[in-house]
A and B are shown apart, each in its own frame.
Chain A
Amino acid sequence: MTGAGGVMGSTIPSQGSRAGSNPSTALHDLHLVPISRVDAKTLIVRNHYAHSLPGGTKMSFGTVLNNRLLGVMTFGVGPFYGYKLVNHATPDDVVTLTRLWLSDELPKNCESKVLGIALRSLKRDTSLKFVLAYSDPAVGHLGIIYQATNWHYTGLSSAVPLYDIGDGTLHHSRSLAQQLGSHSIRYLTLQGINAKAVPQSAKHRYIYFLDDSWQSRLAVPVLPYPKKEREINGNN
C-alpha cells in the first residue's frame, strides 16, 4: 500500500491482488472512524512494512468495511520544518500523513477512496491548511496514491540523517534531542558519546492543500510526477 514520511504503504506490489467480490458495493460501504493511538499502533506494528508508528501522532483513523477494521491512517507532526514549504505557514497549519496501511482484503482502488474521505474531513472540520506525505524510493515507492489523488509533487526531500550512538538503535534527531538534550555531534562527542550521523535516502515529497487559497503560497516549484523507469523508457 501507500504511505508517507518514511511512510509508504506496506504492499504496493500486492495492490493487484486485492479481493472483494463486488468492488463497487464494497467501496460504497467503506468508511473511516476515529481510533485510538493504541489501536492504530497495534495494527501498524502488526501489518505495516515499517512495523512502527512514529512519535508525534496527532490523529488516527481506521478503515471499516462490514464492521471489520481493515486499515489504518495516521497523521502526525512529520518533519520539523515541513511547514516552511509554504510561505507564512506555521506548524499548526500542517499535518503529515505518517502511516497508511490497508488490508489486501479490501478491493482495488480503495486507497484513493480512503484518502479522499480523510482529506475531505480534514478540510471540512479543521482549520488545517495543507497535508504533507512522503514516499521512499529506496523501497520502490513513488507515491502513486498521491498522484492518483492530485497532490502536488515537490521533488525529493532533503534526507534527515539518523544517529548511531552505539546502543544498537538508530535514533531520529528529535528523539535523540529529547533523550540527551541535543543531537549535535559536536556536543555529544564532547560528552564522551561516540555519535555518528547515518545518512538516509531522500524521499518523494507531496503536498495537498486543504485550503485552496493557500496554493499560491507554495514556496517550492511543483514538479512532474516521478514515474517508474519503464514508463519513462516507453512500453517495452
Chain B
Amino acid sequence: MEIIELPIEALKEAVWNVNQVDEAMMQRLRVSIGKYGLVQNLVVRQIANDYEVLSGNHRLRLLHELLIKKVPCVVVDVDDAHARLLAQALNHVHGDDDLGLRAELIREVMQVLPEEEVLAVLPDTMDGLKGMANLGQETMTGYLQNWEKARAARLRNLLFKLTSDQLQTVEAAVAQILPQARLQQGINPNARGTALYLICKSFVDKENKHDH
C-alpha cells in the first residue's frame, strides 16, 4: 500500500460514486476538517494521468473549498469492479455503537464541550443527543411512577367511524353546542370533546326523564 501526497488537480471524483450527503452533513464534515484537519487519507486509483477517488469524494470537495494544494492519499491498484466493491466496503463495513457505551461517551464529551460544538460535528439532533446522554440515568421506579402519572392524566380517545354524510351531521351538532361547551369545559382542555359529552349527556338526561 502506497501513501503519497498528490496535487489536488490530479484527483477526480468517481462518477459512479453512489454515496450522497446533504448540505447539513457536508457542513458537519466541513466543521470536522476545519477543527481536526484531514485525519483520514483519501483512497484513490490511478487512471491515465489522474487519480479517481474511491473513498473521500465529499472530503475532496471540501479540500477544494479550503484551497488545499496537496492531499495525502492511499493509492490502490484495482480494476473497475474492485474499485466499486472497495468503495462499497469502505462505506458500509463497520460496527455498530453499543448504545450504553455511547451514552457514557457522550456524557463525558458533553461535560467538557458545549452542546453546540458537539452538534456541529455529530449527525444527532439536540433531543437525540440529550436522550442519549440520559440513557441509563433514570431509575425504573422514577420512570414507572411518571408513567403512571401520565397515564392517569391522559385524556381518553374515542374513535368513531363515520360516513361523510354522518360526519356532516355530527360536525353540525358539535358546532352548534361548541359555544356552550367552551363555557363548561371544566378540567377538559378539549372543547370539542366537551361538546360531544354535552350532546350525549343531554340525550341520556332526556331518556332518563322519559323513563320516569
Q: Which residues of A contact B (CB under 8 A)?
A: 32-36, 38-39, 42-43, 46, 58-59, 61-62, 64, 67-70, 92, 117, 121-122, 124-127, 177, 181-182
Given known A38-B128, A38-B131, A39-B131, contact A64–B136 (CB-CB < 8 A): yes
Q: What CA separation (Å) do A38 and B144 show in the bound complex?
A: 18
User: Which residues of A lie under 8 Å from residue B143 when comparing CB positions?
Assistant: 34, 59
Q: How far is the CB of B112 from chain A (nearest CB, A)?
A: 19
Interface residues of B in 98-145 (CB under 8 A from A): 98-101, 103-104, 128, 131-132, 135-136, 138, 140-141, 143-145
A126 engages B144 (CB within 8 Å): yes
User: Which residues of B lie under 8 Å from residue A67 when comparing CB positions?
Assistant: 100-101, 104, 136
The binding surface of chain B is classed by DSSP as helix
User: Which of B104, B135, B145 gathers the greatest number of chain A CB atoms within 10 Å?
Assistant: B135
Residue of A nearest to B151 (CB): A92
The binding surface of chain A is classed by DSSP as mixed
B136 engages A33 (CB within 8 Å): yes
User: Which of B96, B98, B145, B148 gathers the greatest number of chain A CB atoms within 10 Å?
Assistant: B98
Interface residues of B in 133-182 (CB under 8 A from A): 135-136, 138, 140-141, 143-145, 147-148, 151, 161
Given known A34-B138, A36-B131, contact A68–B145 (CB-CB < 8 A): no
User: Which residues of A lie under 8 Å from residue B100 when comparing CB positions?
Assistant: 62, 64, 67-70
B101 engages A42 (CB within 8 Å): no
Interface residues of B in 54-109 (CB under 8 A from A): 96, 98-101, 103-104
